[in-house]
Amino acid sequence: MKYAILDIGSNSVRLMLWADGKTLYKEVLTTRLGEGLSASGLISDAAEKRTIPAIVTLLGRAKGEDAEVLAFATAAVRGARNGPEFVSAVKRECGVDIDVVSGEAEALLGLRGALGMRDGGIIDIGGASTEVCLQREGKVVYSVSLPVGCVRLHDACGEDVTLLTSVIEQAISPLPAIELPLYAVGGTASTLASVRLGLKQYDGAALQNAILSRNWLKCMANYLLSAPLEDRKRIRGMDVTRADILGGGTLLLTHILQRVGANEVRFSDGDNLEGYAVYRGLK
């Protein structure tokens, strides 16, 4: 049996094809569903009109694979006042039921996808939220969903480093010191890992366990928040659809590592898509 799992996020819609307990491939379309959400509290008509066609496109891929479809949504949909209306619109236009996961559940999905039952922690910087989740001996010992992400930071602060730093420091203040090995998952992390290794095309296997040091992230954040956008787009490994928001996300990751006392984080290609498959008990 094949399964197609859709992750409807605040910055992108992602598809994973899963069979026999393995990820066969992933595909992503950037739609910025959470754009403007922090100011209005609503998913905009424009964001919905970008996102639903992307869902239709990815569902077409799933249909071609004769796969059973499962879909979940994260911060943008759960946080928007009109999130239920968006869910209804997707059901009406696409015939798909969306499981809107809580922040705590989202953190656990990322943890299970990246680490299984191994000791460690994950940092998942999304478009509208950031999840940090830790486990020891197979038990979750800390989990939080912070109301800050790449799209939300860009909407609120642009590329004003002083304002970004203030918003980030306030958002991450609950985080404790962490002595476990940390893994970064999601689009911000994957783009940074691709840039770090200078990959022309995304290669999850090549990126797995890529090390992102705090010093490198700090330098990259400084560059991304000062260089012209067209120069950023030409960086080897850059996902051009993220070039305008990656600076804020990189600064956020830098400050998180500083806050928890970590000098580096490793990238994990396994993330909440695999975690959702585990959560649903898929074989």
pLDDT in tens, 196-214: 999 988 999 999 999 999 9
pLDDT for 283 beyond 90: no
Render pLDDT for 37-63 as a digit per residue (tens, 0 to 9). 989 999 999 999 999 999 999 999 998
Could you give all domains of the chain from N- to C-terminal order, each with its CATH number? Answer: 2-100 (3.30.420.40), 114-267 (3.30.420.150)
pLDDT for 234 beyond 80: yes
Sort 36 into a burial class: Cβ within 10 Å, 0-12 / 13-18 / 19+: middle
Instruction: Work out the mean pLDDT of the chain and round it to a whole number.
Output: 96
Render pLDDT for 14-31 as a digit per residue (tens, 0 to 9). 999 999 999 999 999 999
Any bridge partners for residue 266, and if so which? 183, 211
C-alpha distances in angstroms, 70 versus 98, 99, 216, 234, 278? Answer: 8, 8, 37, 36, 12
Sort 195 into a burial class: Cβ within 10 Å, 0-12 / 13-18 / 19+: buried
